[in-house]
């Protein structure tokens, strides 16, 4: 059995797991790693647990889905058999808007509020998010409504802020390859939800998670949110086949995002129910007080009535597959 | 409101539907259509019910999902709220093999047996199917076990045979663009299950159905079976986002095929449950008496125990979304 | 060294090539092949020249590009170092239109006229081609202007007609998987230009050629014409990387079709020059007397002036890479 | 005529170009932009030069290809009619290795050396590049051999270093969406080569360039380096169709990277000649003193003999299309 330690990896844990490795066995691979953490050096070994560079995330390394404690009593993965619903608008737009959403979630019994403050827009000529101001509004909602906050970090220039304000740091699809982010999150213990880039193979997706895991942060969940294909009637193609691969081969809790996965309001409810029956550990669903006025992703956000109806229907589906909605 | 009649289309029906059109209005578009059916000529009008060449299949033409009577009391679509499970091996390989499968289906209460006799293999150097002999074995199973038979037609050279032996003619993914097949099926009244080519847009997929519908055969169902994307850890990417488009915009009953959609045994059960919760009208699932010995698609066929366990779990999921498994 | 003979394969040729195989060695693989050609049976052997089911087309079987004699003194492949330019409109639309094109080609010194009579349109509500009437017009052009004719067969229902009228039978992208066609062409000696389906892997593409080659017809050329990707500003993505694979690994002459490969007039000239510098054996370019009036593919056909200017520029490019335009 | 000014955009230049706009006309769009540059506020106008958020890069804004002065007398774009060849290894690995490459380039008359110091590897368990040490080695080569240096910035954490050491900053495919990088480069005047993400549409690609341009840096060139498709026999699909779109619709100089575009040594030479005949403004080609020993991209780097032969052949191709290799 073989493991290759990366910079800053918690060596003792590996050693504990593998009989065949003793601390004295370790060999330095390359002086280039020094930049990250010189202390790890004597422990790096040239050994792999699995082929293809998926190591710590693979079920060959740890068969059971990792348990993630997200705070305020919410745990996913492990033997919890729960599916977490995180809901909220695409972007924080104003105090009124986000407070409407927070109260709406609280009333339904939803425990995690999602909303973006740093938006990775494709155009420089559109709304770019409220930035730090948005993070502060989210923190207010956490205090006032007792909600967990998940929000996106766009790039390495503001990662410290997001680490400070969020309960779960979301690395969005477009930032999945951002080494600056991945490495910084690996030196934190904050839970990270890593979304798959729409052009990333499953292999690359899990390898991006390995950057965080091997850096020393074991609290990582994955999110399938749709890949880019030739189809244009939907904005993305939600890759349930890929999700099936991740669920069976990878030990990280798995989220599915039906809102981005289809990109149009008409598809979200059926896909969300499919995701719950599929047996994922969490779903992210966008809902906005008034989608027609949304500053981003107007077409895919559910209005409050649509979302309530969907949310009410999820419990029975979860129950049919031995799970519970939290 | 505008409709463009195609060769052989049942003009009276269109006229009945559209106030603004009278039979006398019709205009011939092109002498090229003569080859198919000269009789239609005086009725062709240059009018469309929807933009983008999806006409008879669109919910703008007929809002409700079409009701398909597949025979032996099995009906799907309409207001039935049922999801049909069709099961069986990839290919008919021998009497023993197919009889095992037929008995297995009958015991579980499954009403439709699927198996291929003409296999559209990618290589000329592998098993190509039993052909007519296979069709005859399937017909035997229908008589002996009271099952409906769905089987694939590979190309126009044997379409008459398949029309004669099958209860439902399956036009496989690779034959989706085959005009010889589509046009011939348009002149039959036999139910047709049209599978999406793995490289076809939803637009092209529905337009292929329009060739059958406009030819005069209203008994068409669609099947999403996975598209080809950059991902290689799964054989195809089951396009649930596309299925959501079809379910909301197209009036044809919709099947989902999780077996081809992921291509590996480990993904089939979760995807089949997702498909049922999604609310499709039918699922196709491959199961083989002994997958390891299968002459085609060995990796994706469930063994009898795996399939039974999956099948037992589908009823509760269907119930959770207001449907019933048939 | 291993070869697997397919139905109807010219066994003696294989035996001649491989020292290790004698006619007496051959073993029947499966009674299923009987349907195609019972006579081949005693010669089938379970041996392959290459892994992955590419056999007769691989450079491991025959290192040199095959020489194709297209008639009227035109030869491609082998050691000819020529690039054939085939030009003409997307569809035969009328005598006037096709005669303009034929005369235009003749004046420029072009030897092969391309035009479709059976069009594989995606919609049943558009122009479907002139069919047999179109083939007869093309045959007239051959006689009157001394041109070679390449035209498309859409499906197996009219393959006999196209085999009779064409000098080179084009199997279009949408028909690439049509076994009825591939097998029928394998029993002819007519040169076949097989176009890659826009959703086909290179592996499947060459395997489709293997159906023809193993059926006994060695006169096959391939054509890359663009694959379907996520990009929508171009109609297809001309796969030059795939063309590089085919050129280096496959022994069949290779055509490139810049017109379909980009789908817009503005891209054709630069891509055609790139194709010639790349070193392919042929290019197909669409040009129409009046593109704005074309009944199909109006956006991608060059007008006579644009085409003339392009054609004049190709000679120097070919010369720069040691080739000659024919 | 309509222009929308972005944060920090040089308003006067826009005003100069457009008769219809006077500085007094400008309207603030959103207080969210304040974070970037409060000073721009009074000048932002709600006007666009083109639909679809491609503005400053579009030929509707500026018809002629922009002229880029890369230093040491090397200019591309404008009316130069040159194709720049930048060559060198994938990564800087050691002084010996990079000095071999620098001398090799100098001997051939090549003016720009390419090599990576910060490598965006997909796995944390492989060589990650020499980092700052690599940048310093490249700077040595510039001084000693008179070469321009192009090297990649991986993420926002080391962008200052790369801006300091490189003559041209390469934003690699995986970093194309990195707003931290794009915005920082927009505040510099250093020439930037922006590579297309393998999952990015042309629209997104040009919009990423708009982040730099609208930030105030007009010195941007684009590089097509292959997109990710379903094909696996090549590592990527070099998108010549997309390149044709960019060449005809976008006013930024265009590079093509055949090395990454196919990912295998056997394809590079034919694709490089195709790129030159296509008429691009630059090509990036990987060559390594000993590819078999390369620490990254071993399969696609040419050895010195292969590269020399290719390089010698490019002049004639360029000449055939009215260009010159620099």
pTM: 0.90
By CA distance, what is A227's nearest residue in C? Answer: C230
User: Could you tell me where the DSSP H helices lie in B5-147?
Assistant: 11-17, 95-108, 132-145
Q: Buried (b) or exposed (e) across C224-247, using 16+ Cβ within 10 A?
A: bbbbbbbbebbbbbbbbbbbbbbb
Nearest to C114 by CA among C305, C257, C269, C323: C257
Chains that touch B (3 or more CB pairs under 8 A): A, C, D
Chain D: give the shortest CA distance to residue C157, in Å.
31
Residues A22-38 pLDDT 10s = 333 333 333 333 333 33
By CA distance, what is D229's nearest residue in C? Answer: C229
Contact residues of B toward D, CB < 8 A: 228-230, 232
Q: CB under 8 Å to D326, separation ≥6 — which residues?
A: D74, D76, D82, D83, D84, D85, D111
pLDDT of residue A52: 63
What number is the average pLDDT over the span D288-317? 95
CB contact under 8 A, A6 and D124: yes
**Is residue D148 within 8 Å of residue D113, measured between CB atoms?**
yes
β C112-114/C82-88 pair status: parallel
Distances (CA, A) of C115 to A209, C138, C169, C254, C272: 53, 8, 11, 19, 18
B230 contacts on D by Cβ (under 8 Å): 228-230
In this predicted structure, the answer to whether residue C316 has a pLDDT above a threshold of 50 is yes
User: Could you tell me where the DSSP H helices lie in chain D?
Assistant: 11-17, 95-108, 132-145, 159-165, 179-186, 202-215, 240-249, 258-262, 265-278, 304-320
Coil, strand, or helix at residue A263? coil
Tokens of B65: 């999902």
CB contact under 8 A, B204 and C122: yes
φ, ψ (nearest 5 deg) of residue C148: -80, 145
Query: What is the percent of chain A where pLDDT is above 70?
Result: 84
Q: What is the mean pLDDT of chain C?
A: 87
In this predicted structure, the answer to whether residue C11 has a pLDDT above a threshold of 50 is no
DSSP element (H, E) containing C311: helix C304-320
In this predicted structure, the answer to whether residue D193 has a pLDDT above a threshold of 60 is yes
Q: What is the pLDDT along chain B (326 residues), one digit of tens a residue?
A: 234 444 444 444 444 444 443 333 333 333 333 333 334 333 334 444 555 678 889 998 889 999 999 999 999 999 999 999 999 999 999 999 999 999 999 999 999 999 999 999 888 877 889 999 999 999 999 999 999 999 999 999 999 999 999 999 999 999 999 999 999 999 999 999 999 999 999 999 999 999 999 888 999 999 999 999 999 999 999 999 999 999 999 999 999 999 999 999 999 999 999 999 999 999 999 999 999 999 888 899 999 999 999 999 999 999 999 999 99
Tokens of C32: 């299923």
Nearest to B58 by CA among B223, B213, B241, B231: B213
Tokens of B74: 């099995």
Nearest to B124 among C122, C175, C211 (CB): C211
D228 contacts on B by Cβ (under 8 Å): 230
User: For residue D35, how many other CB atoms are within 10 A of its CB?
Assistant: 15
Chains that touch D (3 or more CB pairs under 8 A): A, B, C
Nearest to D32 among A130, A178, A215 (CB): A130
Distances (CA, A) of B184 to B162, B190, B252: 11, 11, 19
CB contact under 8 A, B124 and C7: yes
By CA distance, what is B240's nearest residue in A? Answer: A238
By CA distance, what is C238's nearest residue in D? Answer: D241
Say what angle helices B202-215 and B240-249 make with each other, to 10 degrees. 40
Which of D47, D124, D239 is best to mutate for the A interface (most A CBs within 10 A)?
Answer: D124
By CA distance, what is D230's nearest residue in A? Answer: A229
pLDDT of residue C52: 63
DSSP element (H, E) containing A213: helix A202-215
pLDDT of residue D2: 34
Among all chains, which residue has been given the structure tokens 């598209």?
Answer: B227
CB contact under 8 A, C123 and B174: no
Of the ranges B36-45, B80-89, C292-301, D251-260, which one carries the lowest mean pLDDT score?
B36-45
By CA distance, what is A204's nearest residue in D? Answer: D122
Q: CB under 8 Å to C258, separation ≥6 — which residues?
A: C238, C267, C268, C271, C272, C274, C275, C283, C285
Counting one residue from chain B and one from chain C, the pairs whose CB atoms sit within 8 A come to: 110
In this predicted structure, the answer to whether residue C252 has a pLDDT above a threshold of 70 is yes
CB contact under 8 A, B156 and C155: yes
**How many CA atoms within 13 Å lie on the side-chain side of A191?**
22
By CA distance, what is A8's nearest residue in D? Answer: D124
Its ipTM equals 0.89
B199 contacts on C by Cβ (under 8 Å): 197-200, 228
Confidence of residue D52 (pLDDT cuts 50, 70, 90): low
B197 contacts on D by Cβ (under 8 Å): none
A232 contacts on C by Cβ (under 8 Å): 232
Tokens of A98: 């986000």
CB contact under 8 A, C179 and B208: no
CB contact under 8 A, A227 and B232: no
Confidence of residue A313 (pLDDT cuts 50, 70, 90): very high
By CA distance, what is A227's nearest residue in D? Answer: D199
Say what angle helices B132-145 and B95-108 make with each other, to 10 degrees. 30
Contact residues of D toward B, CB < 8 A: 228-230, 232
Coil, strand, or helix at residue B47? coil
Chain B: give the shortest CA distance to residue D201, in Å.
15
In this predicted structure, the answer to whether residue A203 has a pLDDT above a threshold of 70 is yes
Pairwise pLDDT comparison (B44 vs A258), residue with the higher score: A258
Pairwise pLDDT comparison (C277 vs A122), residue with the higher score: C277
How far apart CA C81 and CA A117 sit, in angstroms, is 60
C306 contacts on D by Cβ (under 8 Å): none
CB contact under 8 A, B199 and C228: yes
Distances (CA, A) of B31 to B10, B34, C230, C296: 19, 6, 37, 16
Q: What is the mean pLDDT of chain A?
A: 87
By CA distance, what is D156's nearest residue in A? Answer: A156
A174 contacts on D by Cβ (under 8 Å): 177
Nearest to D227 among C202, C229, C271 (CB): C229
By CA distance, what is A213's nearest residue in D? Answer: D124
C7 contacts on B by Cβ (under 8 Å): 124
Nearest to D222 by CA among D214, D234, D232, D210: D210
Q: What is the mean pLDDT of chain D?
A: 87
Instruction: Report how far Cα A190 is from the mean position of its chain's Cα atoms.
Output: 12
By CA distance, what is A48's nearest residue in D? Answer: D125
What number is the average pLDDT over the span D19-23? 37
Which of B197, B229, B230, B237 is best to mutate for the D interface (most D CBs within 10 A)?
Answer: B230
pLDDT of residue D122: 86
Nearest to D155 among A122, A126, A179 (CB): A179
Chains that touch A (3 or more CB pairs under 8 A): B, C, D
B181 contacts on C by Cβ (under 8 Å): 155
pLDDT of residue D315: 98
Nearest to B177 among C157, C174, C207 (CB): C174
What number is the average pLDDT over the span A57-65? 91
CB contact under 8 A, A229 and C230: yes
Which of D276, D320, D321 is best to mutate for the C interface (most C CBs within 10 A)?
Answer: D320
What number is the average pLDDT over the span C305-326? 98
Q: CB under 8 Å to B84, separation ≥6 — which residues?
A: B70, B74, B76, B111, B112, B255, B281, B282, B283, B325, B326
D232 contacts on B by Cβ (under 8 Å): 232
A50 contacts on B by Cβ (under 8 Å): none
How far apart CA B67 and CA B70 sit, in angstroms, is 10
β A68-71/A74-76 pair status: antiparallel
What number is the average pLDDT over the span A83-107? 97
CB contact under 8 A, D32 and A127: yes
Chain D: give the shortest CA distance to residue B229, in Å.
5
**Is residue C252 within 8 Å of residue C221, measured between CB atoms?**
yes
């Amino acid at each position: 059995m073989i493991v290759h330690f990366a910079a800053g990896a918690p060596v003792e844990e590996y050693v504990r797991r593998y009989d065949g490795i003793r601390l004295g066995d370790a060999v330095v691979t390359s002086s280039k790693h020094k930049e990250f953490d010189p202390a790890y050096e004597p422990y790096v070994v040239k050994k792999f647990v699995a082929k293809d560079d998926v190591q710590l995330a693979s079920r060959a390394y740890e068969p059971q889905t990792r348990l993630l404690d997200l705070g305020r009593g919410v745990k996913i993965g492990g033997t919890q058999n729960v599916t977490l619903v995180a809901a909220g608008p695409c972007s924080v737009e104003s105090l009124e808007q986000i407070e409407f959403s927070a109260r709406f979630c609280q009333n339904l019994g939803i425990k995690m509020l999602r909303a973006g403050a740093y938006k990775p827009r494709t155009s420089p000529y559109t709304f770019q998010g409220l930035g730090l101001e948005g993070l502060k509004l989210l923190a207010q909602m956490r205090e006032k409504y007792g909600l967990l906050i998940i929000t996106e970090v766009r790039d390495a220039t503001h990662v410290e802020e997001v680490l400070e304000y969020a309960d779960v740091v979301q690395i969005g699809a477009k930032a999945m390859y951002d080494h600056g982010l991945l490495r910084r999150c690996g030196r934190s213990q904050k839970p990270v939800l890593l979304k798959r880039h729409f052009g990333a193979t499953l292999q690359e997706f899990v390898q991006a998670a390995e950057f965080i895991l091997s850096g020393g942060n074991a609290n990582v969940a994955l999110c399938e949110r749709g890949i880019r294909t030739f189809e244009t009637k939907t904005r993305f193609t939600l890759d349930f086949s890929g999700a099936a691969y991740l669920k069976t081969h990878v030990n990280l809790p798995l989220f599915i995002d039906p809102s981005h996965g289809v990109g149009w309001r008409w598809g979200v409810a059926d896909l969300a129910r499919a995701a719950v029956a599929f047996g994922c550990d969490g779903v992210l669903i966008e809902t906005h007080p008034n989608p027609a006025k949304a500053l981003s992703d107007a077409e895919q956000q559910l209005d409050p009535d649509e979302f309530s109806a969907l949310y009410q229907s999820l419990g029975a589906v979860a129950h049919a597959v031995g799970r519970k909605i939290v």
